[in-house]
Each structure stands twice: as C-alpha cells, then as structure tokens.
Amino acid sequence: MAITDKIYVKNHRQLASQLETSFPKSAFAGATLDLLFTGNSLANLDSTTQDRVLDFAEDFLDCDCKAHPYCGCAERKFIQYLLELRAQGFGPDAIVDVMGDDYMLYAYSGDILSFLDQSVRTLEAAEALAKTEADRSRSQELSEAKRELTNG
C-alpha cells in the first residue's frame, strides 16, 4: 500500500455531515477527490475547511492530464511534499501536525516513519547502483538527498 493510501481526511464525520453525504476517509480515494474537488461541494463546507480544500487542490491537483484527478500526479506531488518536510527537519509526528494545519489531513506517524525509512532504502539502493555504474555525480546527488532525509 502506498503512503498516499494512508492519508486521511481530518474531521471526516463533520465534513460528511456538512456535505450531507458519505465518502471514504482516505484523502486520495477516487470518490473523495471527486466529491471534494469537482462539483459544488465546496459551497457546503465551512470557510476554514473550504480554504484547506482549495489549498490542497491548488498544490496537488493542478495538472492538465486527461485522466485528472486519477492520473497519479496528486499522489506524486504529495510524496514530494512529505519528503520536503523531512528534508526541512520535520520528524514523523511533526509532519502529521503540518499536514493537519496545511490541508486538514492526518496520517499515523508510524506509517509516515515506515514511508521515510522506505524512501531512504530506495535512495541507498539507487546510490549503490549509481556507484557501480561509476556515475559519480548521480551517486553524489543521491547521497545528498539521503543525508537530507536522515539528518533532519
């Protein structure tokens, strides 16, 4: 399961009642994206929630792909967002707090932790591969990316 399958809408029940409908808790579920980001749902949400939903749409759902919002761009951008927070020195708990403030989303910090671990392992594998290919600059780049993720 991708980390984006484990990102949830905060105040889910409250939102569902404002919208007078039910939708999945998972933020990146197709039905959630459809409901919150297409159609007229926004008007039924309180203004704080509207702002967060709009921010999310602006930051992650701004592509022009035909398959939008099912093209995968949102998930890719969100993963980038998580890695950037880590590179800025945020730990898993702090990352969960930030996504709550930014977009009214939440995740379990344990899931964020395993995602970050996995990302570092992926970088390590890529780094090792780049070394064997004598691709120095690529290897250096990856090593720097890894340092950003691990030092915090």
Q: Would you tell me which residues interact with Zn ion (CB under 5 A)? A: 63, 65, 71, 73
Q: Helix, strand or coil for residue 150?
A: helix
Residue 105: helix, strand or coil by DSSP? strand
Closer to Zn ion by Cβ: residue 68 or 131: 68
Which residue number, 72 or 91, has a Cβ lying nearer to Zn ion? 72
Closest approach, Cβ 15 to Zn ion, in A, equals 24
Helices (H), the chain: 12-19, 30-37, 47-60, 73-87, 92-103, 109-132, 136-151
In the complex with Zn ion, the residue whose CB is nearer, 81 or 90, is 81
Cα dihedral sign, 112-117-121-127: positive
Please give the Cα distance from 34 to 146 (Å, whole number).
35
Q: Residue 141 Cβ, how far from Zn ion at the closest point, in Å?
A: 25
Least distance in angstroms from the C-beta of 121 to Zn ion: 27
CB of 134 to Zn ion, least distance (A): 35
